[in-house]
Amino acid sequence: FIAAEDGKEYFFHRSGVDSTLNFDSLRGGETVAFDIEQSQKGPRASRVRAA
């Protein structure tokens, strides 16, 4: 999950990580930028990239 600045948490899948960012190198607490899109299960983070 990714926490937004407003405190909301969004699910994201590794397929939503931008190609400029290595999913396996992500660590908890790291600052990233992302878009929010609607999925069948509700809002989720997409285009996750370095901030």
The domain of 41 spans: 2-50
N- to C-terminal Cα distance for the chain? 16
User: What's the number of domains the chain is made of?
Assistant: 1
SS3 of residue 44 by DSSP:
strand
- Give 10-residue mean pLDDT values along the chain (51 residues): 95 94 92 96 96 91
Rounded Cα distance between 23 and 43, Å, is 20
Rounded Cα distance between 42 and 51, Å, is 24
User: What are the CA-CA distances from residue 6 to residues 10, 36, 40 (Å)?
Assistant: 11, 13, 23
Rounded Cα distance between 24 and 49, Å, is 13
pLDDT for 17: 96
pLDDT for 49: 96
Kindly report the pTM of this predicted structure: 0.83
pLDDT for 21: 93
